């Protein structure tokens, strides 16, 4: 009897198991990225599990019936799925999580040079994560265009030059993993488009004057943070192929790009490597006309090589090495045909360019980072050794004409070589259960050598050699719901300038200029900058903050040197600019709605506004006041429908008489028109994600014309325009995605803001008409 009974029990168990169902699948984000270690649980049961490192999950044995599966992961909205399982069914359910609207728990690095959350930052910060970058990149491969919706940032110029793309009305410091890309000693406005969007993991925009990374951040900081080795497999591959074309007139407008990424983790060594190559065709405006190639992004060849290694020495120590190479050069058969300002645009016509290809010849960035946690007690230590080697070439210009020496014109190029070391310590502290925080302290050392020559070898700006030594300290204290931050930085700068002779030219065949021998020398700048801020986080519906911060910058010394009329450096006015930023703002959350806002005032006793005098640009050193506000709203209208909008208003005035009265408006190259950026996003069945965006750029008409009807540089009237764009992603399988982007969907016929306020016929250029971009991405 025992054997038949045992057999019956085994058989009944087998039959029961055969009738059970199974559920498995993968958890991903909106851009098909894996979400590791997500939590999954069935409501009203004790059944739960955790996804593995690549987002996969498995419930191997479930009784048939109806279930409600809940999925959650930090940074994403919790999702619930109703599931009906049949006896013996093996269901595969892949689930896409939407990113969470609440962003104050998001981690940022740039604000304090070590990781902290946004609710610990008493100032305005915008973060574009990898999903945001990929979405915006569908409509444009320019990183400047990717940031167009950021509140407080002026609209992209859609050119190689970023002149006029200011942050809160002042120049910003561009970084790649904390490495300075800007060339403040001779500001060439080529620092924004210096890296391919495919290798950027996130972009952190710190608004308002800040000196935490040194010279040049009067308006704030934009830090491109590159991708990290965070693959959970030994080997992963991502291949992306994209192509774009004009929807107005397709002739010669085809663009294409190939990007290949390898990543993996082998024991304690993580790696990520990317190579990308892209070619653009000609760009056309809304009427099908070829857009002028002057400073253009059309007909360019763009290369990017990127690699990063991360090695964990032990639990408390790791090394990271990063290298990135970027090159973007224009190879065009068109030349600029000047327009008539206010009447017709400058366009591209077939012709022979007298110069060599313009563009960023190369931009090398490398960095070795060492992190040690609990080095001495609880003190952490971090050191960054970095370099940047940069060269950019500008377009050919008859400005450099000299009949005596036989030069018909010329092309200038800026070269900058930076080497630096950052070393900082972070020591936590606590007093009882109420007070806690940390002190961040260290030193920055930077050597920046910048010059501007002509391609033919003539000197325009001598080799300016800056050595910067800056110790600093930053305190953060948290008392219950109150966050206090305060810091100080000591700038010590020595600049060596060799003997040189200003360039000898006859602009447009007119009166000779230059040929002034200048005795070199040394310039010294010493300054102490402060910052302080307070944030209160008690109420979800209202989290206010106030802050004060200062920046330190040298107002384009190279521009002053190249037009020097004095014969010694001591006679050249080159005082540094100290900008003071005052800000009050808040963050609020109401259910599925987030609202944030800020009002700011930025002042400086010395200015950095350009003015044109007899065809030569000089820097006006009057006191300045820039002020404005930003508001941003994001709300989830339905489970799969999200809406957001933001408003940015900025204005600036000069105290021309230095009498305390700010009567004169600042030029358009500093102050952009009002900007309203809105979007609506829809996620359908975890397969299709669509996003429709709209940008309104307003009017700005503050200046009167000259008696002859022309306008001074920077003072041309700016007319309003509207841009609508569409992007969509379709997850064909768990590993493949098809994407579509349409730039200027309604084919708005408009002039770029820079071409309007610039007020010169050579630069009176329209923006792109409607363009389509298709992308196919495979993850293995």
Q: How many CA atoms lie within 13 A of 269 on its CB side?
A: 6
The residue assigned the tokens 């310590």 is 425
pLDDT for residue 9 is more than 70? no
CATH assignment of the domain containing 45: 2.60.40.10
The whole-number average pLDDT for the span 248-262 is 95
Report the C-alpha gap between 650 and 662 in whole angstroms. Answer: 15
Helix (H, G, I), strand (E, B) or coil at 431: strand
List helix spans (H) across 192-329: none
pLDDT 10s digits, 602-631 = 999 876 665 555 444 456 668 999 999 999
> Roughly how many angstroms between the first and final C-alpha of the chain, as a whole number?
56
Mean pLDDT of all residues in 185-197: 91
How far is Cα 293 from Cα 393, in angstroms, rounded to an integer?
A: 14
Pull the structure tokens for residue 762: 């050579």
Q: Tell me whether residue 117 is in a domain.
A: no
Distance, in Å, from the CA atom of 126 to the CA atom of 133, rounded to the nearest integer, reads: 13
Name, in order, each residue with C-beta under 8 angstroms of 250's C-beta and a sequence gap of 6 or more: none
The CA–CA distances, whole Å, from 136 to 300, 313, 647, 690, 691 equal 20, 37, 19, 12, 10
> Is 12's pLDDT higher than 50?
no
- 388-422, pLDDT tens digit by residue? 999 999 999 888 888 888 888 899 999 999 999 99
Please tell me which residue, 739 or 614, carries the higher pLDDT value: 739
At residue 102, the pLDDT reads: 54
* φ, ψ of residue 185 in degrees (nearest 5): -70, -25
CA distances from 396 to 185, 390, 399 (A): 22, 20, 9
In the numeric block, the tokens 């080799």 are attached to 463
Whether the pLDDT of residue 13 is over 60: the answer is no
Domain annotation covers residue 178: no
Question: Of the residues 96, 114, 148, which one is the last residue of a structural domain?
Answer: 96
- Whole-angstrom distance, CA of residue 142 vs CA of residue 162: 11
Per the domain annotation, does 399 fall within a domain? yes
Strand, helix or coil for residue 547: strand
The whole-number pLDDT of residue 509 equals 53
What mean pLDDT is predicted for residues 85-112?
75
Can you give the pLDDT at residue 609?
60
In sequence order, what are the residues at sequence separation of 6 or more whose Cβ sits closer than 8 angstroms to the Cβ of residue 622?
606, 607, 609, 654, 655, 656, 658
CA angle 562, 566, 570 (to 5 degrees): 95
Which residues share a beta bridge with 777? 240, 737
Final residue before a domain boundary, out of 77, 96, 115:
96
∠ CA 406-407-408, nearest 5°, is 115
Q: Which residue has the higher pLDDT, 611 or 696?
A: 696
**Does 480 map to a domain?**
yes
Report the alpha-carbon distance of residue 545 to residue 561 in Å, rounded.
42
pLDDT value at residue 720: 96
- d(CA 469, CA 453) in angstroms, rounded, equals 27
* 8 A C-beta contact, residue 177 and residue 226: yes
The structure tokens listed for 143 are: 């990183």
* DSSP of 308-344: EEEEEEETTEEEEEEEEEEEEEE--SEEEE--BTTTB
Identify whether 540 is part of a domain. Answer: yes
Residue 178: predicted pLDDT: 92
DSSP-based three-state secondary structure for 141: coil
C-beta of residue 54 within 8 angstroms of C-beta of residue 34? yes
Return mean pLDDT, the chain: 88
Query: 308 with 199: CB under 8 angstroms?
Result: no
Over residues 177-196, mean pLDDT: 91
**Distance, CA of 154 to CA of 650 (rounded, Å):** 9
Q: Considering Cα of 665, then 667, then 671, then 676, what sign does the dihedral take?
A: positive
The alpha carbons of the chain give a radius of gyration, in whole angstroms, of 28
Digit-coded pLDDT (tens) for 18-70 = 578 888 888 887 666 778 777 888 876 767 787 876 788 888 888 888 888 88
Residue 537 lies in a domain: yes
| pLDDT at 275 > cutoff 60 | yes
What is the total residue count of the chain?
780
What does the alpha-carbon distance between residue 673 and residue 154 come to, in Å, rounded to a whole number? 8
- pLDDT tens readout for residues 343-402: 999 999 999 888 899 999 999 999 999 999 888 888 999 999 999 999 999 999 888 888
Average pLDDT, integer, range 589-612: 83
Nearest-CA neighbor of 123 among 635, 474, 426?
A: 474
Residue 288 lies in a domain: yes
End of a domain among 63, 81, 96?
96
Q: So what's the pLDDT on residue 89?
A: 86
Distances (CA, A) of 755 to 367, 548, 741: 37, 35, 26
In terms of residue numbers, what domain contains 634?
Answer: 221-228+236-358+368-779
421 compared with 732, residue with greater pLDDT: 421
Beta bridge pairs of residue 441: 425, 473
Q: Can you read off the two tokens belonging to residue 461?
A: 């700006």
Burial of 379 (0-12, 13-18, 19+ CB in 10 A): middle
Q: How many domains does the chain have?
A: 2
Residue 596 lies in a domain: yes
Contacts of 51 (CB under 8 A, 6+ apart): 26, 27, 35, 36, 37, 38, 39, 40, 57
Residue 101 has pLDDT above 60, yes or no: no
| CATH number assigned to the domain comprising residue 446 | 2.40.170.20
- pLDDT of residue 8 exceeding 80, the answer is no
């Amino acid at each position: 009897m025992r054997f038949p009974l045992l057999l019956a029990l085994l058989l009944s168990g087998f039959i029961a198991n055969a009738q059970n169902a199974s559920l498995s699948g993968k958890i991903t984000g909106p851009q098909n990225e894996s979400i590791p270690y997500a939590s999954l649980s069935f409501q009203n049961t004790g059944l739960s599990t955790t996804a593995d490192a690549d987002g996969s999950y498995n419930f191997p044995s479930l009784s048939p019936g109806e279930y409600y599966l809940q999925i959650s992961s930090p940074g994403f909205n919790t999702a619930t799925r109703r599931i009906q399982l049949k006896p013996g069914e093996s269901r595969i359910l892949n689930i896409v999580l939407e990113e969470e609207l609440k962003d104050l728990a998001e981690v940022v690095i740039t604000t304090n040079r070590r990781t902290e959350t946004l609710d610990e930052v008493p100032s305005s910060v915008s973060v574009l994560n990898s999903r945001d970058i990929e979405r915006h990149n569908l409509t444009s491969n320019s990183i400047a265009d990717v940031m167009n919706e950021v509140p407080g940032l002026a609209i992209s110029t859609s050119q190689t030059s970023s002149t006029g793309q200011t942050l809160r009305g002042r120049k910003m410091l561009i970084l790649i993993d904390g490495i300075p890309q800007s060339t403040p000693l001779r500001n060439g406005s080529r620092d924004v488009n210096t890296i391919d969007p495919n290798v950027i993991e996130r972009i952190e925009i710190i608004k308002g004057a800040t000196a935490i990374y040194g010279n040049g951040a009067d308006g704030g900081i934009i830090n491109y943070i590159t991708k990290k080795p965070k693959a959970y497999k030994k080997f992963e591959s991502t291949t992306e192929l994209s192509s774009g074309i004009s929807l107005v007139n397709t002739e010669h407008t085809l663009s294409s790009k190939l990007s290949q990424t390898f990543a993996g983790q082998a024991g304690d060594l993580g790696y990520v490597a990317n190579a990308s190559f892209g070619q653009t065709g000609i760009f056309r405006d809304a009427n099908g006309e070829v857009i002028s190639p002057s400073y253009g992004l059309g007909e360019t060849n763009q290369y990017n090589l990127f690699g990063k290694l991360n090695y964990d020495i032990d639990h408390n120590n790791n090394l990271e090495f990063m290298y990135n190479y970027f090159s973007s050069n224009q190879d065009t058969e068109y030349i600029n045909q000047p327009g008539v300002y206010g009447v017709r645009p400058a366009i591209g016509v077939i012709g022979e360019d007298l110069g060599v290809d313009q563009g960023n010849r190369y931009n090398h960035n490398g960095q070795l980072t060492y992190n040690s946690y609990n080095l001495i007690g609880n003190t952490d230590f971090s050191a960054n050794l970095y370099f940047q080697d940069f060269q950019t070439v500008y377009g050919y210009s008859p400005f450099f004409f000299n009949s005596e020496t036989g030069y018909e014109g010329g092309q200038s190029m800026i070269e900058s070589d930076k080497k630096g070391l950052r070393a900082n310590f972070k020591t936590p502290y606590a007093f009882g259960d109420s007070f806690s925080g940390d002190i961040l302290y260290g030193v920055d050392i930077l050597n920046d050598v910048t010059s501007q020559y002509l391609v033919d070898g003539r000197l325009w700006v001598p080799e300016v050699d800056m050595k910067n030594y800056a110790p600093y300290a930053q305190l953060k204290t948290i008392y219950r719901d109150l966050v206090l931050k305060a810091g100080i930085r000591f700038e010590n700068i020595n600049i060596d300038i060799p003997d040189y002779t200003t360039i000898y030219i006859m602009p447009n065949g007119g009166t000779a200029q230059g040929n002034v021998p200048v005795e070199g020398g040394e310039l010294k700048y010493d300054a102490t900058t402060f910052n302080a801020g307070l944030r209160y986080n008690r109420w979800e519906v209202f989290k206010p903050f106030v802050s004060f911060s200062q920046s330190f910058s040298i107002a384009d010394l190279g521009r002053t040197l190249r037009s020097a009329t004095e014969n010694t450096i001591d006679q050249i006015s080159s005082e540094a600019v100290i900008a003071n930023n005052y800000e009050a703002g808040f963050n609020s959350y109401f259910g599925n709605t987030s609202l944030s806002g800020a009002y700011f005032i930025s002042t400086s006793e010395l200015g950095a506004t350009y003015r044109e005098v007899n065809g030569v640009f000089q820097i006006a050193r009057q006191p300045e006041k820039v002020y404005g506000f930003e508001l941003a709203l994001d709300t989830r209208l339905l489970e799969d429908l999200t809406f957001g909008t933001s408003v940015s208003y900025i204005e600036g005035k000069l105290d021309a008489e230095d009498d305390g009265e700010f009567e004169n408006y600042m030029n358009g190259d500093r102050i952009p028109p009002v900007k309203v950026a809105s979007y609506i996003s829809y996620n359908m069945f975890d397969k299709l994600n669509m996003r429709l965006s709209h940008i309104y750029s307003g009017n700005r008409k503050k200046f009167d014309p000259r008696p002859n009807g022309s306008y001074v540089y920077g003072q041309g009237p700016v007319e309003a325009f509207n841009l609508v764009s569409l992007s969509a992603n379709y997850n064909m399988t768990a590993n493949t995605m098809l994407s579509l982007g349409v730039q200027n969907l309604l084919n708005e016929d408009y002039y770029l803001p820079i071409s309007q306020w610039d007020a010169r016929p050579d630069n009176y250029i329209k923006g792109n008409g409607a363009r389509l971009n298709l992308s196919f991405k495979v993850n293995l």
